[in-house]
Structures are given as structure tokens and as C-alpha cells.
Structure 1
């Protein structure tokens, strides 16, 4: 079995071929290749081919890497339901351990940093955008103190190029009809109707097993539609897509939803049951009212009437403490006795005369 091995050496990478015998011995032209093979094998950096497929050893970036990393490839912006994500692939022939920095600009602003020193190959920019903006992203690779050149994406108009997700569809069976209820996909920012003022739904439906005979209803403005003229007790399937004026691409189609229609006899029977329940409830209430009328009338119109002036007495304001004090300060009744004062000298003179 032959293995291909990349052996780092200063500023260049040397390629050696190593042959393995069936007994596990390593046949190389010199001892250094054998040592390198052992190190790579034990460190987990060796990928060995099986069943005759060629194998390649992809080592991590050496610590003494010189030069500048290559630029990232396939840099592009994507959007689903009004988000915005910058994506890229590693540089050609890149070793592991690279990190990346991204920047974003709009048609009216300069580049600003977004994701810094990340190891992933994507950067979510949703919180940095306007729903009607035009944006361009760029990314560079970093290893230690070295940086690659910037690689720039194409410009991206979010509301015109975003991929609208599938709507949610529910079917309600009523007699020989089906009501289609449509819910818009959930946007990362705002809602479908706020971004697109002209939204239409295209509904395709067919009898189960007869998709080749499907019928379509286009340019529906409402979220609800009744499909009539259907066969009773038959299973029908529905699929819905959203179309807008600003975005030339239709939405992703909804999941196929199926429902069975009922018969008209079942609908009439259900109506009859509902009417019967309502009438029975009304009759029961009337019977209870007649039987309990005496108790109800006594409660509403009691025989013992309240005092005529009782409401007025309740509404009259109670006397304040000041008025009570003034009333209690009325003058008390005076008690007097007649008193006669006589001069004793005058009395004695009157008696001697």
C-alpha cells in the first residue's frame, strides 16, 4: 500500500511517497521520512486510503509558516426570509487552523467590521442590515501575524434576492368543500406583508393520485379560499406558492397537505344536531323559569318594602364631629336663690324708737 505524505520543511512543503508492507514495516529511502511518518500517524493528521483509493496526509499549518495565506474562495451573500449571511470556502490548499475576519458595506456606507477572528466559514449579518438595502461583503484569512488579501462578494439587494420560505397550509373540510387557510412564512426581520405590499398566492390542488390533472388558482390576495365543486368523500391535496412584485423569484412551495371532503348528508345531519341542542337548551331554560317563577319574583319584588325615607337617610351625610361638639356646648340652666342683706345698726335704731 502506498501513502502520500506532506512533510513541512522550512518555507516549502516536500512530498514523499512511503510504502507499507503487509507486515507493517515502513520502506523508505531514508530515516527522516520514517520519523515523519510516525509523527503524523500518531498525531492523527494521517489519512490512509482504503480499498485501493489514494490517501493524502493534510497536516496542520506549521508554526514556522512563512508567506501570506491564500485568499478565501467562493465568497458570496445569501438570504432566506430577509436574513443576510456571508459565506466562503477556505483558500486553495489551505492548512487547518486558519481564522477569518469579515466586513460589510452598503450602497451608502463604507466597510465596517462584522465577524472578527472566527474559524467558521460564514458570518450572520442580519442585525446589521436594512430590509431595502444593497450590501457587499468581504473576507480575509489570517494565520498568526499574516493576512491574506480581501476577497469581495457580489452586491446583494436583500428584498429582491432573498429566498422566501414556504407558507404553512391548513385544510378544513366542510361538506363537499375545502377551505384553504394560508399562513405566511416567519421573517427574521419584519413580516412578509410589510416588506412586500403586493402579495399573491398561487394554489394548486388535485384529487389524490391524479396530480397530472392538477388545477391552479392564481393571484389570490386573501389568506383564505374555499375550493368548491369537489367530489364528496374524496381526498384532495393542495400546494401553495407565494409571488410578489418586487422579488422575481416565487417562494419555496409549501408542503403538500391532503384532506377528505365530507358528504352533503353529513353536513345536514350536523346542522340538525346543532339546532336540536340549541332548541333543547332554550326549552329547558323556559321550564326552569316557569317552575321557579315564584321564588324569582319574591327575590326581585320582596313584600316588605323599605322605609320611604330610608334611601334619603342613607344618602344624607353624617354630622361631623365639629357640629356635634358645637351642639354639646349649649348653656346650662342657671339655679338662683333670693338673699336678703340687713344692716344690724339700723335694725337696732329702728327697734329703740
Structure 2
């Protein structure tokens, strides 16, 4: 008889999915509270045999407060407490100690709360990778480091003694990499490099109160040259052109009316020009409305029909020659 009852219970539990015989939902699994760049996120897995209709509610507390409501009736398997409204919840601070918990819900039924382990935010957060850029200057390379963006506060405000570990190597000889450790400067010059050679750089952040090493930056490479240039020259040229552009814009805005009048003058003609142009003409030829009558005579042109034979040696006629004799 007992074997039959056990088989019935197992079959019933399987058919009901995440429900147990008592009618209470199975609890979420693998609950953990994590932090990346000073956020605070609770993550979990679905209950065993969970259905798609489940929703979840989360809460969090500090070492000195009771649980506060987090995400309510969500279907995702995580809740970012730092994204919640500060006006409705106690704010998350960088030095706080936090614990989270979650439960599953299906209609009016709820599972038991499952609590995460406690974390201290500045001690346990994972510090992301910095952003690195390189500038070649002859046989040296300038390394510029930008800290990762924190959700709460900043790297320097949270960790006063944060340092950088810089690793650099000839592009083809990573096994011979050189290191610069425990520097707080975010602008570093790599000297004594081979000319016309590619070098690659990676940077990692280390802090005093966090035992977890920061994530490595992406590998960035740059090639050296043979002639060293003044590093401030390109910077000054850029600043000059930016300042010139800003000045031109400012002058255009301030003196836009004067510039408009200069390019498109609207001055009227002097008064004496107007008077001379509008003054009636003195000549009567322009006052008479009828044009003058032109006088002319007909002229007829008659061609000379005499021939050369009738003319004498001197060009005169025969009659004239006889009268002379």
C-alpha cells in the first residue's frame, strides 16, 4: 500500500510541474547577488519543472535595514536594484553591505523566499577594463588610460589608491613583455623602444580593498618611428583650429547685423543724386511730345554714257580739239 501511495505522489508531482503536494510552488534556484562596476544585480534560475506563467518578486536589504521591495511580478531571471527609483527605495551606496532574495509566483500561490549570499559592494564588485589609447612619438609611445564608468560614484572616489598595471611588448615577442606596476598616472610614456617597431599594450586596474583583479583592457598596438616629434605640436594645432572656429562663430553671432549690412548694403542714394535724377530736362527736344520733322530733297544720279574714243589725248572731246586748232 505504501508503495502505491509513493508512486501516486511522484506521479502527481510530475504532472503538476513546479507545484508540490502541499500546493506551494518550488523555489527559484541558483540565487546569487553580483556586482559589475558598482551595480547590484540579483540573478536566479527557474524552479524545477517551472511553467512559462511564473513571475518573480525580489527584495534586498542592507546590514542595518530590513528587506525593501525590489522588482515585482517580473518574468526575467534577474533584477538590477541600482536601476530602481531612488525616491522609492533606499539608495545603493558604494560601501554598503547587501543581501537579496527572490520568490516565484503563479496566480495566488507563491514559493518560499530564497536568499543570496551577502556581498560588500566595494569589496566584491568586478572592476571592468579601462579604455587605452596610444600615440607614437619617435621612439616613444604615449599611453592614455580612461577609467571604466561606474554605476555608482567613480573609480577614484571609491578607491583612493587605485593603480594601473601596464604590460607592453614587441608585437612579435609577447613572451618578452615588460611591465610597469602600481602607477597611479593615467598618462604614461614608454621609452627606450626600438624605432620602426610595433608595440602592443594592455592595462589592468588594481585596488586596495578589492581582492579581485580588474579586467584586462583590449590589446592596443602602435608603431614607433625614427624621429622624435614634440608631443605638444599636434595638440596645439588642434587647439588653435578649434579656438579659431569658436571665435568665428562667436563673432558671426555677435556682429551678424553689421556683417549682413556690409554684405547686403541697404543705404539709399544721396539726396542730391535723387534731385538730379528727378529734375526735368532743359532741352526742348525732350519736352515736345511729337518728334521733329526732317526735311529732305530728292537726288537723281545719271550715269555718263560717253566712250573713251570721243576723248582726246588729254581726256577732252574731239570737238574741243578742233576748235583749238
What are the residue-to-residue correspondences of 1:1-353 with 2, within 5 Å?
Answer: 12=12, 67-127=23-83, 128-264=91-227, 267=229
C-alpha offsets along residues 277-307 of structure 1, whole Å, 9 cap, x if unaligned? xxxxxxxxxxxxxxxxxxxxxxxxxxxxxxx
| Matching residue of 1:316 | none
Deviation, 1:250, is 1.4
Q: Per the alignment, in what secondary structure is the counterpart of residue 12 of structure 1?
A: helix
Deviation, 1:267, is 3.9
5+ residue gaps, structure 2: 1-10, 84-90, 237-325
| Matching residue of 2:304 | none
When the two chains are superposed, the root-mean-square deviation of aligned CA atoms in Å is 2.8
Whole-Å Cα distance in 2 between the matches of residues 209 and 250 of structure 1? Answer: 26
Q: Per the alignment, in what secondary structure is the counterpart of residue 218 of structure 1?
A: strand
Whole-Å Cα distance in 2 between the matches of residues 111 and 185 of structure 1? Answer: 31
Whole-Å Cα distance in 2 between the matches of residues 126 and 118 of structure 1? Answer: 16
Which stretch of the first structure deviates more once superposed, 194-203 or 91-100?
91-100
Deviation, 1:13, is 5.9
CA contact (8 A) 2:82 2:92 kept: yes
CA contact (8 A) 2:18 2:48 kept: no
TM-score (norm 2): 0.63
Whole-Å Cα distance in 1 between the matches of residues 159 and 18 of structure 2? Answer: 48
Change (3 A) 1:14 1:182: closer
Aligned residues, how many?
Answer: 219
Deviation, 1:60, is 8.3
C-alpha offsets along residues 209-257 of structure 1, whole Å, 9 cap, x if unaligned? 1101111110111101100000001000000000010111111000000
Change (3 A) 1:146 1:208: same
Deviation, 1:103, is 0.8
Deviation, 1:92, is 1.4
Change (3 A) 1:139 1:131: same
CA contact (8 A) 1:103 1:138 kept: yes
Deviation, 1:14, is 6.6
TM-score (norm 1): 0.58
Higher relative contact order (CA 8 A, sep 6+): 2
CA contact (8 A) 2:27 2:103 kept: yes
Change (3 A) 1:92 1:14: closer
Whole-Å Cα distance in 1 between the matches of residues 71 and 221 of structure 2? Answer: 45
Deviation, 1:66, is 7.4
